[in-house]
Amino acid sequence: MSWRIRVRHSTGYRYDAPVLASYNEARLTPVTDVDQLTLESRVVTSPDAVQQRYWDYWGTQVTAFDLHVPHEGLEVTATSVVDTADAREPDGVPTWDVLRSDAVRDRFVEMLTLTDRTRPSDEAVAVVQEAVQTLAPAEAAMAVMELVHGRVAYQPGTTGVATSALEAWGLGKGVCQDVAHVTLGLLRSVGLPASYVSGYLHPRADAAIGETVTGESHAWVEVWLGGWWGYDPTNQVPAGERHVVVGRGRDYGDVAPLKGLYSGTGSHSLGVTVEVTRLG
């Protein structure tokens, strides 16, 4: 059964010394596509700033704004209401011959190319290639997901946004971003096009309608099996009604929720809160 979800994502920066100017890009607006409908969305900043909106190369909506007055803090709050869809199974699954064809490899070259964040270790590649050598593509994708889930334990606070798949595999633990990066690297290494998905996860499958709970930014993957199919390797479930998609890309660097530059001499602290409410 599909859900209607409201997401409120608030990010606050506090600077040690006044910042003279800053330029910022927010990727906080959920997408509208075949599996999801964004009914409303707005991004509010404090201090107030003129906003420009555009879609980037990967199809993610960007809210860009800059400030040219001294400020000691910055608050960015995004509120959205989204209709999500049930999890679904992959359909029209191609053969390995199709996946290895020049047409498919050319079409999805960016989602087959390893990045610094997703590049796996030689050990990891050897393990996964042995695990999938006799499997059909859909079975191979699931084998990769299960292997990563068993190898990289979800443990908040153990890694940072700059942690690579190579490092997370060696540590054997990380956050959802790390699990997604490791999964992407291994899917791509066996010839399966795969994209990084950034968004939100409602934490409760039995959520009461109207109840607001603490949610979280989340990351999972989509793999091309004749069509894009979403799977959450951190929780070992297909992406479904509790998942809200904001953006897709090669890795976290393409879809970071908020990034920018500022002119000033001080450092800064960061606070993030996410609230989610099932509306229907």
| pLDDT tens digits, one per residue of 77-131 | 999 999 999 998 888 899 999 999 999 999 999 999 999 999 999 999 999 999 9
> How confident is the model at residue 262, as a pLDDT?
81
Band (15; pLDDT cuts 50, 70, 90): confident
Tokens 């906080």, residue?
A: 28
Domain ranges (residues) in the chain: 4-85+256-278, 96-255
> How confident is the model at residue 17, as a pLDDT?
85
- Mean pLDDT (the chain) is 95
Task: Please report how many Cα atoms fall inside a 13 Å half-sphere around the Cα of residue 16, on the Cβ side.
Answer: 6
Give Cα separations from 118 to 141, 153, 196, 213, 252 (angstroms).
16, 17, 10, 32, 9
> How confident is the model at residue 55, as a pLDDT?
97
Q: What is the dotted CATH code of the domain comprising 4-85+256-278?
A: 2.60.40.2250
Q: What is the dotted CATH code of the domain comprising 96-255?
A: 3.10.620.30
Question: What is the percentage of the chain residues whose pLDDT exceeds 90?
Answer: 86
**165 pLDDT exceeds 90?**
yes
**242 pLDDT exceeds 80?**
yes
The rounded distance, in Å, linking the Cα atoms of 271 and 35 is 31
Q: What is the mean pLDDT of residues 31-45?
A: 96
Can you give the pTM of this predicted structure?
A: 0.95
Give Cα separations from 130 to 101, 103, 134, 145, 188 (angstroms).
22, 26, 8, 14, 15
Running DSSP on this structure, what letter comes out for residue 158? S
Q: What is the mean pLDDT of residues 228-249?
A: 97
**1 pLDDT exceeds 80?**
no
Angle, vertex CA 175, rays to CA 170 and CA 177, nearest 5: 95
Q: Out of 66-75, 136-145, 219-228, which region has the weakest mean confidence (pLDDT)?
A: 66-75
**33 pLDDT exceeds 80?**
yes
Instruction: Give the phi and the psi of residue 125 in degrees, each rounded to 5.
Output: -65, -45
> How confident is the model at residue 266, as a pLDDT?
65
Tokens 């087959």, residue?
A: 112
- Among the residues of 152-265, which ranges form H helices? 165-171, 176-189, 252-255
Sign of CA dihedral 131, 134, 138, 139: negative
Q: What is the mean pLDDT of residues 120-149?
A: 95
The rounded distance, in Å, linking the Cα atoms of 220 and 110 is 17
> How confident is the model at residue 206, as a pLDDT?
94
